[in-house]
Amino acid sequence: MLQSLRRYHEITSYQRDAMSGGYLEWSNQPTVYKRYPNAPRVPLPMELDFPSVGMQELMRDPFAFKISQTWDLKKLSGILRLTCAITARSSHPGGDFFYRSTPSAGALYPCEIYLAASGINGLPAALYHYNLEEHSLVKLRPLEPRGAADACSLTFFVSVIFFRSSWKYRERAYRYLLLDSGHVLENLLLALRATCTPHRTLLDFQDEKVNSFLGLESRQEVCLAMVEAGDLESGASPLTEALSESSYPFPKPEPPAPRETIYPAILEAHKAGCCPMRWGEGPVLRMLEELGLALGPSQLMEAAQPRLDEMGYVESLWRRRSKRAYLPRPMDKQSFCCLLESLNIHGTFSCRKSNQLLAIGLLVREVEGLDCGFYLLDTEKGAIYEAAKGDLSKGMASACLDQAWMAQASLQVLFLSNLEVLESRMGPRAYRHVMILSGRLGQRIYLASTALGLGACGVGAFYDREAASLLGLNEFSKLLYVLTSGPVRGRAPWVS
């Protein structure tokens, strides 16, 4: 039985000479939509007024929130569309493919969204599942309104269906499930910021109670994140008593595939992370100091100019694709500074908390004003430190399953963590935190790159030990996720 997420990460590492063979059973490919065929639906408005905020303004702090707001189906519909929109369609011999605003490993889209809603005009207080395919709400169970009669309370839940990813990636899929939930979570948080909606993120909760409240079979689907929104000070949360209620007869969903394979390593890894997170024990952790790297002097970064506003938030969201047809030309310095600024997150995860969990590496191949090399970014101080000289981009492309296109990118952004230090200081649940955070930051790189007219593409598959060796990391420090960015040719091939 796995009790350590560090151990899970180790046993799911790829090794160049030990990759197991296999094939994809296409007749058993999971559907990318969850369907409740016999449950009542509430259609959502399609004619929406989207916010006109720019990307850079949206990502910066502070951001003004309107404490008192009127909620109706139109506003809720807009937030859900901005969170996981279908942005385009392409036709293929096997059928139509629908592009989404969030990336997903293998375009498998394992995430689902639920919401417990109370106090929204035109919507009965209830727990709903968001049907992305039809852009509607599926009613799962009624809820008793809490707090003042006119108080609005919303709790969003981001879940993952294990087999959607494990169908292709087997035991390693839990990594991608966490990253993908981070992509979706960041979109939701940006949508709430764009609509000036007060909110708070919860990654620490009683897993068993929440999964039961949502009617999930925890061997198939689990909740990974919650976001409370609306009148946070009114005490109107519909969850306080509902989580303690007895089980409710839920409508039965269609299975995600004709046959589901259960991978014990995924279940054990998730169960190991169900213990409470330990924040604030011992000295403040700075993850960039735990990687075993000898860092050079710090170099303060220039303040980013308002370049991102050249493309607005909504347009950037709709245009986001994984683009990797990189051009052999440098990234300009202002674009580089804008990308680094996009990695400053606020709210529940402050820069300080982010730096405790995660170190951000930069493999610079061709950026105006910077020498080729490996750098570490300190988001709290707005500085970078040189960790190694020379161009490591080809070596990283080789470590990432020999994906040669990566070596053409101007910049590779690396998310790194010492998993032994992380787990010993904060407990096994910290693995969920750091992987979800990596997904959140990855989505920010995607959107900021799109706004700047650059390409971006995420990579979660690599020979783990080769990547760590290339970077000079110590034994327990690992690469978690890679994002490439740089100038691209016109309409580059779409990947995810």
Alpha-carbon gap, residue 43 to 382, rounded angstroms = 45
CA angle 424, 434, 387 (to 5 degrees): 85
CATH of the domain at 113: 3.40.109.10
**Residue 386: strand, helix, or coil:** strand
What DSSP line would sit under 319-383, residue for residue?
A: H------B-SSPBPHHHHHHHHHHT---TTS-HHHHHHH-EEEEEESSBTTB-SEEEEEETTTTE
The reply to whether 248 and 302 lie within a common domain is no
> What does pLDDT average to over the chain?
90
Tell which of 197, 229, 263 closes a domain: 263
Tell which of 206, 229, 263 closes a domain: 263
Mean pLDDT of 104-114: 97
Tally of CB atoms within 10 A around 260? 17
Question: E strand or H helix at 221, and its extent?
Answer: strand 221-230
166 located within any domain: yes
Alpha-carbon gap, residue 426 to 433, rounded angstroms = 10
Q: What radius of gyration, in Å, describes the C-alpha atoms of the chain?
A: 22
Tally of CB atoms within 10 A around 108? 23
Evaluate the omega torsion of the peptide bond into residue 62 and state whether it is cis, within 30 degrees of 0. yes
CA angle 468, 103, 469 (to 5 degrees): 5
Q: What's the confidence (pLDDT) of residue 495?
A: 41
The reply to whether 451 and 336 lie within a common domain is yes
The reply to whether 293 and 258 lie within a common domain is no
Q: What's the confidence (pLDDT) of residue 244?
A: 63
Confidence band, pLDDT 50/70/90 cuts, at residue 347: low
Per the CB < 8 A criterion, the answer to whether 290 and 420 are in contact is no
Q: What's the confidence (pLDDT) of residue 496?
A: 46
Mean pLDDT of 287-316: 85
User: For residue 62, which amino acid is it?
Assistant: P
Domain with 362 in it:
287-486
Examine the pLDDT at 103 and tell me if it is beyond 80: yes
Instruction: Pick 348 or 450 by higher pLDDT.
Output: 450
The reply to whether 384 and 464 lie within a common domain is yes
pTM: 0.95
Alpha-carbon gap, residue 30 to 410, rounded angstroms = 36
The reply to whether 54 and 162 lie within a common domain is yes
Q: What's the confidence (pLDDT) of residue 492?
A: 40
Q: Closest by alpha carbon to 251, among 34, 10, 492?
A: 34
Matching residue, tokens 């929406």: 48
The reply to whether 225 and 311 lie within a common domain is no
